Structure 1
Amino acid sequence: MLHYHLLMLNCLLLGLPAAWSGATEEQMRAAGKLMRDVCFPKFSKVSEDMANAISNGNLLDDKDSKCYINCIMEMMQTMKKGKFQMESSLKQVDLLMPDEYKPSYRVGIAECKDVSNGIKNNCEASYTMLTCLKQKIPIFLFP
């Protein structure tokens, strides 16, 4: 739990210098790497190639990949116990996204906000949400 809080603090610190104008792509990717470094070891059936495929937008339709996606999305405070966190997601966009990405992410979030409603499995809900975001946001970025 302490490691989680330190990670979130690091993510926030990376975003603070640019909080008024958005983070740089380098800061955004560094925050994403921290999240990936926490989630990746938890899912031994997800290889580095699989994690890279997910990062590149090739969402794998298997239980372990979906749960890895859920872990990342919970670290990003986008999902919590299978529920989409709209307000938190918009805050993350403001803190961790470069300015040029923000408008399309806000639109994508608004269009996808209800897509995971009613899905009981947390991993499936996150996978469904990420699939929608990938379809709606022109520049797909995921740790």
Structure 2
Amino acid sequence: MQSVNAPSPSAPRGRAARLAAPTGVLAAVAAAFAYVGAVDPNEPGHYPVCPLLHLTGLYCPGCGGLRSAHAVVHGDLLAALEANAPAVLGYAGLAVLWTVWVVRATRGRPLRIDPPPVLLWGSGALLLVFTVVRNLPFGGWLHP
């Protein structure tokens, strides 16, 4: 026999329960950015070396991402863009996505991420072009 006070399986969750996941993600991201802000990636020995750069001498699309995050934490947007512009765009995009998630969770709606294929293919193509150009002789201005 089911208790009268027990919530039914289809009962809506409370606001605090709906915001638990976005709050946890925010705490994890804030902790990661705080660590990168405190431990300078520009000084050698604090972080592992990029395996692709170490083995081949080629910059991957993520090379400079930690330097970029460090600059963002310290409010230096120009240095962040110089270190890795796609990473800065990624940080901004994830901040917007997180905000949408919180608004939808507050309203009791699930977050549905369904980007059109053209957006995914276009983003992948831009990252590929960025990676190739930064490794060509004339792409030195894109090095971290």
| Structure whose alpha-carbon radius of gyration is higher | 2
Q: Do the structures match in fold with TM over 0.5?
A: no
TM-score normalized with structure 1 length: 0.30
TM-score normalized with structure 2 length: 0.30
